[in-house]
A and B are shown apart, each in its own frame.
Chain A
């Protein structure tokens, strides 16, 4: 099965259903980012500028803001 499933996913199934109980594990493995790809999420990003400013005031630290078109933690 470990051999068959990737072959199924690699086939040109443009109009055929790809998500089946047999392909579920392979799909999840292919799509969900690896730990390496998600390494940047290990940084304790506060989810909003408000949270950053509030925590910065409480801890007397400068605030490092990552602001993008699309929330960096939610839709890059």
Chain B
């Protein structure tokens, strides 16, 4: 059935606020959908939508139950089949508008980022999805930053980005990026450990740590803002291959204890300290989703 649709994914906060033609269409059709007009507990319009390329809503929902999803997809297709061609298709091509994806560093280094809890001996027991929770993101480095790392050391700006953004505990949900002043350790160096016909084999080593104190909520529905702290930090180790122009392989692990909780990261009842790890690896070229905190890049 999926072949009958063009599947796409996007960030709803951006769609609800951006001024691009696609976002404007979303802002119109989402109000006809399952969360239309809603302001509490949040004004989010997240969910699944089926629309015509002209932006007419065919169906929407926010559930992952397979039977329900199938039913809604069939309803959407039935509505699609009732439409005339001119109702389905726009008369002219949609204008793109500025997008973070336009800044994809073609000649740089693009990494997938995965975050997950490590096994521990003590702490609250976890079950269900929490036991296996993980999250993903992306890290973009410019060609100059990648070249500098291959030559010996990741430059300060890139390193700070890596630590501030990917040191956040997002295993179970979203969490804010750390501020520049929260970085207490940051170093990533590369050492040549072998040579091949195609270039050099590198050992990556370093450390990164972030710590923040402030007033915030740690449970999105139950608590009032109060004094809290959060942190993450530990050593980094990895391996990579450099062919003289770009990285052809890359794996970096960063592990250590995490503490604290934030409003949406699901740690109110499990603030640690407990071990967590972040792994960075080369992204497939087709993976061009922008980093979730691209605004913090300053590009």
A interface residues (Cβ-Cβ under 8 A, vs B)? 6, 9-15, 17-21, 23-24, 27-28, 30-33, 37, 43-57, 59-76
Contact = CB atoms under 8 A, between A and B. Distances in A.
Contact of A10 (B48, B121, B138, B274): B121
A55 B5 CA distance: 10
Contact of B6 (A10, A61, A73): A61
Contact of A30 (B85, B118, B120, B273): B118
Contacts of A44: 7
Nearest to A11: B121
B12 A17 contact: no
The prevalent SS among residues of B at the interface is mixed
B137 A69 contact: no
The prevalent SS among residues of A at the interface is loop
Contacts of B51: 53, 62-63, 65
Interface stretch (B17-25, B143-151, B153-161, B221-229): B17-25
B262 interface: no
B96 A50 contact: yes
Given A13-B275, A17-B235, A64 B7 contact: yes
10 contacts: A14-B273, A24-B238, A27-B279, A43-B2, A47-B288, A60-B89, A65-B10, A65-B50, A67-B46, A74-B291
B235 A20 contact: yes
Interface stretch (B194-202, B211-219, B241-249, B250-258): B250-258
Interface of B: 2, 4-13, 15, 20-23, 25-26, 30, 44-53, 55, 58, 73, 76-77, 80, 85, 88-90, 93-94, 96-97, 99, 101, 114-116, 118-122, 132, 134-138, 170, 174, 203, 207, 234-239, 251, 253-257, 264, 273-275, 277-279, 281, 287-292
A48 B101 contact: yes
B53 A53 contact: yes
B256 A49 contact: no
Given A65-B51, A67-B12, A46 B237 contact: no
Given A19-B256, A69-B12, A70-B292, 11 more contacts: A9-B118, A27-B118, A27-B253, A47-B9, A61-B5, A62-B5, A65-B10, A67-B9, A69-B264, A71-B290, A74-B137
B273 to A, nearest CB: 5
A30 B116 contact: yes
A75 B292 contact: yes
A18 B118 contact: yes
Contact of A31 (B115, B274, B287): B115
Contacts of A64: 2, 5-8, 48-50, 73
A70 B52 contact: no
B122 A71 contact: no
8 interchain residue pairs of minimum CB distance: A52-B8, A75-B292, A17-B235, A18-B255, A46-B8, A57-B53, A56-B53, A50-B22
Given A31-B279, A49-B22, A74-B291, A68 B237 contact: no
B290 A65 contact: no
Contact of B203 (A21, A48, A49): A21
B120 A18 contact: no
Contacts of A48: 8, 10, 22, 99, 101
A63 B6 contact: yes
